[in-house]
Structure 1
Amino acid sequence: MTTAAVFGSGSWGTAFAAILADAGCTVRLQGRRQELVDRINRDRVNADYLPELSLPDGIRATTDPAEAADGADLVVLAIPSQTLRDNLATWADVLPGDAPVVSLMKGIELGTGLRMSEVISEAGHVEPDRVAVVSGPNLAREIAAKQPAASVVACADIGTAEVVAQACAAPYFRPYTQTDVVGTEIGGAVKNVVALAAGMAEGLGFGDNTKSTIITRGLAETARLSEALGADPATLMGLAGVGDLIATCMSPLSRNHSFGLNLGRGMSVAEVVAVTKQTAEGVKSCHSVLELALRNEVDMPLATGVTAVVEQGVHPRQVAEALMGRPRKHERQ
């Protein structure tokens, strides 16, 4: 039986731990707070993040990273992307030296412009062919309800991707494999920024035509950046691209969409955080996504507009007007 260690007891980490357990793995779920860990072990529920999910008996929680990683055949990292490097400074020494390391994170590191798999390799001292990325239309609450969903497991080594896919192939969760890590990660990072824009449009009172336009042009921006970084364009037509983009931009369960909705209604970033007690991944990553685009001379007007709202307090309506007033061009440019 496969033993999996999941670092991160938030919504997606908890849901993925349940996927692994339902696929037949023994799972150790690592969390920061002792009271949360104790409640998970006692009540079989993560009441802080997914209170509706009854956790399988195959999951045990711990605050000790070494205990979680001891003897693990598979390690899963499910924490906020901008905290990854600091956490790996603590965790690197306890990670098994031969186990695949799976990233559930979707972001670009501020300052370095590195994708999460690159941060894992650099800060965690993990060979690239052991780092796999799981990405797709995977809203945690729908996964918790065991609604059918699919995802991509991408790794430079297809054998490692197959090992990870086998470990998380549950009756309601279907993993596909591929080797385009770059395209998979860029799709996951940029869709959060596009989802903020889609939420802003809804908050401004705009309808489905506007949101569809944002999704489509956001996909074009994502594809341009991915190709500039050497990704396979076909990846963005799959689950880690358009699939994840649609779910994150359209669903009220999407944290990025909901955050953008409040921005569109006139709230500031600080006000949204104060009300929701959460920061969406796209808010943290829009600056690093835009920096990566500028570094590679890729035009990303949507990402530019979202960053202006988040960092400069520009009103979303001004961004919408600026986007609509841009010079016309061929659709594929």
Structure 2
Amino acid sequence: MVVSPPAQTTDVHSRPYERIAVVGAGAWGTALASIAATAGRQVRIFGRDVETVNAINQTHENTTYLPGIALPETLVATAHLSEALSGVDAVLLVVPSGAVRRVAADLRAFLPAGTPVAVCTKGIEPQTGMLMSQVAAQELGDIPVGTISGPTFARETALGHLTAATVAFDFSHSDRLAPNQSPAARLAVSMSTASFKTYISDDLVGVEIGGAIKNVIAIGCGMMTGAGFAENTRAALITRGMDEMKALAEALGGRRETVTGLAGAGDLTLTCSSQTSRNMSLGVQLGRGTPRAACFDGRPVVVEGEANAASIVDLARRVGVSMPICETVHAILHNGAELHSTFGDLWTRPIEAEPRALDISLRNPA
């Protein structure tokens, strides 16, 4: 019997980015800035709200978005974009999806040449159907643009709970020759701490598609939970929702296997399992019959999956991908469809095979 030798650990080093700017001082931006500072990086975080900036600098706390969590004293906040970007090695762009294009355009005037930008925002732009990295790249020009994505609630991340995420960039020819010095690898090393574990991907499309679609599926899971359906229903929506992710990712040039990773299955499972997610929470409230205007006690809470339901469905229709769960959520959110009957229609669709290679579609007697 031949015994295989134990796997060898390759001691490969990668140079971290020492000076990192985080653009966006919301909960996730602040959490990422805290992680980078904890990892030993020099971090400046940009925020438009002067009170938030002052609180971070003076009390080392983002009292608006992450109250009660102590931030590293080395973290510096500024309300001036030029100051945040001066001399930086890498940028994390962490703003709502609707603001990515505008803020990316603002960055261009101050961004040092060749500086990589990770767009840590999940979504698809309406009208254009572009992923967030594509939106930023269109405004920023010829620089590396990627993302950081995964099952990451901001508060848990900032508190130091064990968390894992994927750093994804498209790989150039030179990146493939020296992958340990690619922007994805260098940023992964830059953000790694004892509690924040990073993984590297060259499938930017697959990673971003997972992050965008999971919010829509989470709203659907919340709707079913709020309406009184049980765990069987949620498990079915998560599993079949992941299949919709795979189909759209593949149609856009991504890899199906990427969707089974942290940014797909991992993020989907987290977001569909906890009302800490605004998407899940919105769905639960709607499922209980709460009017949209009264959700979140009437506060104007931004729920990314709400807008993305429309942009994802529009994109899927354009590329010819069937996404019945996303279509169902979209119909309820934006077309006034009745929740119970619309989900009932989903359950009486034709009987199909799970492996795509088995081409079967049967009339559903239900």
Partner Cα separation in structure 1 for residue 247 and residue 259 of structure 2:
10
Structure 2 residue 240 is the aligned partner of structure 1 residue 204: no
Which of 296, 301, 304 is the aligned partner of 1:278?
A: 301
Aligned with residue 116 of structure 1, among 132, 137, 152: 132
State how 1:222-241 maps to structure 2 within 5 Å. Answer: 222-241=245-264
Q: How far does residue 207 in structure 1 lie from its aligned partner after superposition? A: 1.4
The aligned residue for residue 140 of structure 1 is 154
Moved over 6 A (4+): none
The alpha carbon displacement at 1:36 in A equals 1.4
Give the alignment of 1:293-312 within 5 angstroms: 293-312=316-335
Deviation at 1:274, TM superposition (A): 5.7
- Say which is worse superposed, 264-273 or 44-53, in terms of deviation: 264-273
Q: How well do the aligned residues superpose, as a CA RMSD in angstroms?
A: 1.3
Structure 1 residue 62: Cα displacement: 0.8
CA distance in 1, matches of 2:86, 2:297: 38
State whether structure 2 residue 19 is matched by structure 1 residue 3. yes
Which amino acid letter does the alignment assign opposite residue 150 of structure 2? Answer: G
CA contact 1:30–1:68 (8 Å) conserved in 2: yes
Tell me the equivalent position of 1:193.
216
22, 32, 51: which one pairs with 2:48? Answer: 32
Q: How does 1:78-227 map to 2 (within 5 A)?
A: 78-127=94-143, 130-157=144-171, 158=179, 159-227=182-250
Separation in structure 2 between the aligned mates of residue 134 and residue 183 of structure 1, nearest angstrom: 12
Which piece of structure 1 moves more, 315-324 or 234-243? Answer: 315-324
Question: TM-score, normalised on structure 1?
Answer: 0.96
Return the alpha-carbon distance in structure 2 between the equivalents of residues 285 and 31 of structure 1: 24
Residue by residue, what CA displacement relative to the aligned partner does 1:153-209 show, whole Å, maximum 9, x if unpaired?
A: 111124110111011001100101010001000000000110110111111011111
Contact 2:246 2:255 in 1 (8 A): no
Superposed counterparts of 1:245-260, under 5 Å: 245-260=268-283
Conserved in 2, the CA contact under 8 Å of 1:141 and 1:253?
no
**Corresponding position of 2:84:** 68
Distance in structure 2 (CA, Å) of the matches to 1:173 and 1:283: 29
CA distance in 2, matches of 1:269, 1:293: 25
- Name the CA distance, whole Å, in 2 between partners of 1:95 and 1:282: 30
When normalised by structure 2's length, the TM-score is: 0.88
For structure 2, the residue ranges without an aligned partner over 5 or more in a row are: 1-16, 172-178, 357-366
Answer whether contact 1:77 1:103 (CA < 8 A) is retained.
yes
Check if 1:325 corresponds to 2:341. Answer: no
Q: Deviations over 1:253-282 (max 9, x none)?
A: 111111111111112333326624312110
Equivalent residue of 1:153, what SS?
A: strand
Q: Distance in 1 between matches of 2:194 and 2:79?
A: 29
Structure 2 Cα separation of the partners of residues 17 and 42 of structure 1: 16
Q: Distance in 2 between matches of 1:286 and 1:42?
A: 40
Deviation at 1:54, TM superposition (A): 0.5
- Aligned residues of 1:6 and 1:17 also touching (Cα < 8 A): yes
SS at match of 2:92: strand
1:126: Cα distance to partner?
4.0
Identity over aligned residues, as a percent?
A: 40
Moved more, 101-110 or 271-280: 271-280
What CA distance in whole angstroms lies between the structure 1 residues aligned with 2:79 and 2:355?
A: 49
User: What amino acid maps onto 1:270 in structure 2?
Assistant: A
Mapped contact 1:106–1:189 kept (Cα < 8 A): yes
Whole-angstrom distance in 1 between the partners of 2:268 and 2:57: 35
* Deviation of 1:61 (Å): 0.8
Q: CA deviation at 1:142?
A: 1.1
Structure 1, gaps ≥5 residues long: none
- Whole-angstrom CA distance in 2 between matches of 1:255 and 1:103: 20
Aligned counterparts of 1:213 and 1:77: Cα–Cα separation in 2: 34
Please report how far the alpha carbon of residue 15 of structure 1 lies from its aligned counterpart in structure 2 after TM superposition.
0.4
Task: Report which stretch shifted further, 306-315 or 65-74.
Answer: 306-315
Whole-angstrom CA distance in 1 between matches of 2:25 and 2:33: 9
Conservation of the 8 A alpha-carbon contact between 2:25 and 2:45: yes
Q: How far, CA to CA, are the matches of 1:192 and 1:256 in structure 2?
A: 6
Paired letter, 1:70:
S
